[in-house]
Each structure stands twice: as structure tokens, then as C-alpha cells.
Structure 1
């Protein structure tokens, strides 16, 4: 392992963070060794905050304002901006780093765009490793902002310690369609652009999702991210919720479940290529794919 890189990472060098993430994304053996050496205490102290929601809700603007509030508290912050993948190269298309140039000169703000690589869940396989690398570099909070493809973004819930669902007026039936999905598992519901027509109706719609009056007060918050209104209060609510979940043991239980999910995710990714080659060599197109898969797994697991 490159001890110089590990040392620079521990000191918070943003370039070292980027290099470490690239090693992991490229399945470089040096990246594997680096992951094994990360500071576990820093990782445990870090809060992983997921930000999801439909396109146009203002997630990137809200993320930028949250960064500002976090830095006002003198905390180091990391951002993983998950972009749609190029169908040819697999690279990120949107380049969220461009949208966060206000923080470009702050070495305590580490931003990384990562491609989904075609994953319907919205997160690439290396996102969890990137979170831990940023945490080990001293980030107190790591924000994961997802591409905003709706209800299929359930991956974010399994990786984040807390998840914000950002909504804005004007989505109509889309809100109704999402009620049975991620709205029920998001920790905080953020009604952004709350100064626009329809915002009050959206707020009332969210109340119908959360039937417990006390829960409504804790889990729904209004913001106008473009003006920074309500964002400091949102961060305060997030930190209060984190402290409560840590004291109740829920925080660690979530981390345990996240470990299981991510390990399974990595196992599937690492198995994909050898399994494909084995199927190519042994399976007949005259066999039903389900039966072929069962036969393949029986041979592997016996």
C-alpha cells in the first residue's frame, strides 16, 4: 500500500481523497489495501446524509446551502454527487462539481461526481467505499445527492444513515405515486420552493402521509433553498435526529444492515463477469434461463 497516500488521506488532502476513490473504482489492489487501513473511529463518527427526490425539486441547490451551513459550524464535509452514466464510457455526465464551484477553494469541502453505471437504484458499487474514504479524511458529514429518478432510488436508503426526500410544488400525480414508496422510509421530508404556488397543498399532502401529529412536526420541514431560508433549521433537525438515533442504538443497527446490503452488492458485482463467462461456456440457449441460473448456483454453492 502507498503509505504516503494513506498519510495524506488522513491529513485531509482532497487530492488524496480523489486518488483513493479512483483506486477503488478501478478495482486496483492498492485501493483494497487502503480501505482496510482506514480510520474506523472517524468512519463511526461520520454522518452519511442521503438527499433524494424527483428532478427539479432543487436537490443540488439545497446541497450547496447545506454545505455552507455545515462549514459555518467548522465541520469538514464530503459530497458524492451521483450522476447518470454515459452509456458508452460509464462516466458521469452532469458534473455536479461544476454546480458547487462556490466551495471549490475550500479544502474542507470534498466533492466527487460518481456515475451510476446503469444501476437502477441510482448508486454505483463504489459509493459506499467513497463515503468511508471521505469520512476517514476527517469529514464529519458526507452527503450523497442522487440523480433524482424517483421511486427506484431505494439504494440511497440502505447506504445513508439519514435520508432527506426533497419535494417541490408542481409535480402533481408524481407525489401520489411516490407515497407508497420512498416517502415512507425517508427520515425527513423537505418541502423546497415553499414560497411558490402549490407549496401549501404539497405540505398538506405530506401531512396525510405522516398520520402521527408529533411525527409530522419532526419529519416535515419547509425550505427555500435558492435563498437559504430554512436550511440552517434543516441542518439542526438532522443533527438532532442523528443524536437521538445514536442514543437509541438505531444508528448502529442501520450501519449493520448497510454493511450486509453493501457486502451483497459487492459480491454480485464481483461475480457478474465470471458468471457471465461461465454461462457463455456451459449454458444452452435451449434451456430456460431460470433453470440455467438455478443449476449454475447449485454448482457454485454446493
Structure 2
């Protein structure tokens, strides 16, 4: 198994497409093989610029990702795309809407697209999405674009996963109100107003600029002025400017020292999320013997819900020999 994993990692580092796809599939398995593989992949990651795109459904994120990918390819940069799709209620798999919209890159070896199902994961990110980012990073992709599912309030988790966060808004969708409600305004490094050829686009731009000037929302990097970039992915308007803003922000992160801060924040989030996943998996496997009795006690009001939950957790074994400890 060790030799097989080492060979696979070597092929991933060489950028071989089949190896990259296979490594991603193994990473999604969340078993011993995934743990051994990702432990090695982790050592070779950390070089790519990870860009997260978020916004409410209908704001044009997928079209924006495709347009940015074309622009980055013109600049000679390789691009990995992690498109988080909603889960099918029947199979649990990704609906693959984003993959369908990005078929134009099928013949480009400098672009790799991976669609992933949320599978109930909160925060707009699938559980294995950042392992997938690591694989693309280790494979040498210069830029990795993460497009979240677009579920509103849960979107704020993208701020903990990307170096540069782009919030996409579209005219006529009430995005400015949604941004205030969901806390999305505060997570952006760059605001993008898509479909700027629409008549009411100027109002959306003014509204977002106005809200930005009410305070200084952001992630603590006060030296960076958050731009609002009007774009039209269909006509190409604003895409060059947006790509340059992304590159400028990346250079700013490195020169200001903020990049190190964000990398540490991402790793902290991943450690905590992984610990939660391990506990959740163990709970799902080991709950049945204990849950029924606790359920009966809670039903008869002999035990309150919190006390029952504590009893259930006390029955979970965190030490053992399996690979997910």
C-alpha cells in the first residue's frame, strides 16, 4: 500500500491528469487510504493561490469562474476548479450543473475541473473540498478557484478556506439586502457586480459602495481597500480588471505578511473541522447501541436532551486502531 501511495503521489506531483483524479476520489473516501495519501499530499501543498467565489444562486458564479479561467489561461497560469454543487436528494452525488457549464475546457490540459456534492456539509463547502484543493495545489496548478454552492448564510465558511474571497452580486436579485442579512458583505476581499449590462447594475454598484463606506468591513487587513468591480462574463467586460485585482490582492497578501495569517487560519479551521468529522463518524457508527435507551428516557422526560447528548458522546470511542482517529 505504501509503494502504491508513493507512486500515486509522484504522479500527482508530475501533474498527470489520471493520477490527480484518482487522488481526489481516494480523498473523498475518508478511510485509511485517504489518510495516508493526504498526509503525503499535504507536505507538497501550500503554493497555489486559492480564490473563493461565493454569492446567492443566480448571481452568475459559474459563468464568472469560466470567464476568469479563460483570462488566467491567457496569462499563462494553470487553473484548478473545485465546483461545489448541491447534492442529489436521490443519489447523494453532485448534480454537476457547474461541470456542464464548463465543458469548453475539456481539451485544455492546463485546466482541471472537479465537481463535488455538499452531502449535507454546512458552510457551502463539501467536506473533502479542501483535500481536493491540496491535490490540485500539489499537482502544480497556479490558481485554484473554489465556487461554493450558493446557499446564503452558510456561504461565510468560504472565508476560512481561501486566500482571496470574491462575493458575486447580480442586479435585481436583492443581493445588497442579502449581503447584510447573511454577513456576506464582511467576508469579501473583492466585490463583483455581474451582468453589469443590465439597467439596474449601477444601483447595485452604488449600494455596495455605500455599505462599504459605512464602515470598514473585512477580515482585519485594513491596508487593503476592497474594490467593487462591475463585470459581464458574457461580453467579457471587467474580466481583465477582475483578474488583475485578484493578482494584486495576492501580491498584497504576500508583501504585507497577511498571507501567513490566512494560511494559519485555514489550517486551524481544517484541524477543527476534521476533528468534528472524526467525532461525527464515530458517533454515527457507535450510537445505535446507546441511542434507543436514551431516546426512551428523553421521551418519558426522565432525561433532558442535553443530558442525553452527553451520555451519547460518553459512549463514543475516540481511541482505537482505525485510520480516522
**Where does structure 2 lack aligned partners over 5 or more consecutive residues?**
217-221, 298-302, 319-325
- For 1:106, the equivalent position in structure 2 comes to 108
Pairing partner for 1:224 from 206, 224, 232: 232
Deviates more, 1:258-267 or 1:102-111: 258-267
**Partners of 1:88 and 1:288 in 2: how far apart?**
34
Q: Does 1:164 align with 2:158?
A: no
Larger Rg: 2
**Partners of 1:131 and 1:166 in 2: how far apart?**
21
- For 1:29, the equivalent position in structure 2 comes to 32
RMSD: 2.2
SS in 2 for 1:143: strand
Pairing partner for 1:7 from 7, 10, 32: 10
Query: What's the TM-score, normalizing by structure 1?
Result: 0.92
Number of equivalent positions: 299
**Partners of 1:97 and 1:278 in 2: how far apart?**
37
In structure 2, the CA distance between the partners of 1:273 and 1:28, relative to structure 1 (3 Å rule), is: closer
1:51–1:165 Cα contact (<8 Å) kept:
yes
- For 1:292, the equivalent position in structure 2 comes to 308
In structure 2, the CA distance between the partners of 1:230 and 1:10, relative to structure 1 (3 Å rule), is: same
In structure 2, the CA distance between the partners of 1:217 and 1:273, relative to structure 1 (3 Å rule), is: closer
- For 1:282, the equivalent position in structure 2 comes to 290
**Where does structure 1 lack aligned partners over 5 or more consecutive residues?**
none
Alignment of 1:81-92 (within 5 A): 81-92=83-94
**Partners of 2:282 and 2:40 in 1: how far apart?**
28
Once the two structures are superposed, residues 193-252 of structure 1 have per-residue CA deviations (whole angstroms, 9 ceiling, x without a partner) of 111011010001101221169999642111111111111111111111111112222111
- For 1:60, the equivalent position in structure 2 comes to 62
SS in 1 for 2:310: helix
**Partners of 1:60 and 1:246 in 2: how far apart?**
28
Query: What's the TM-score, normalizing by structure 2?
Result: 0.86
**Partners of 2:37 and 2:237 in 1: how far apart?**
40
2:87–2:119 Cα contact (<8 Å) kept:
yes
In structure 2, the CA distance between the partners of 1:18 and 1:251, relative to structure 1 (3 Å rule), is: same
Once the two structures are superposed, residues 248-289 of structure 1 have per-residue CA deviations (whole angstroms, 9 ceiling, x without a partner) of 221111111111111211221222132234443234122222
1:78–1:141 Cα contact (<8 Å) kept:
yes
1:13–1:107 Cα contact (<8 Å) kept:
no
Pairing partner for 2:120 from 118, 121, 132: 118
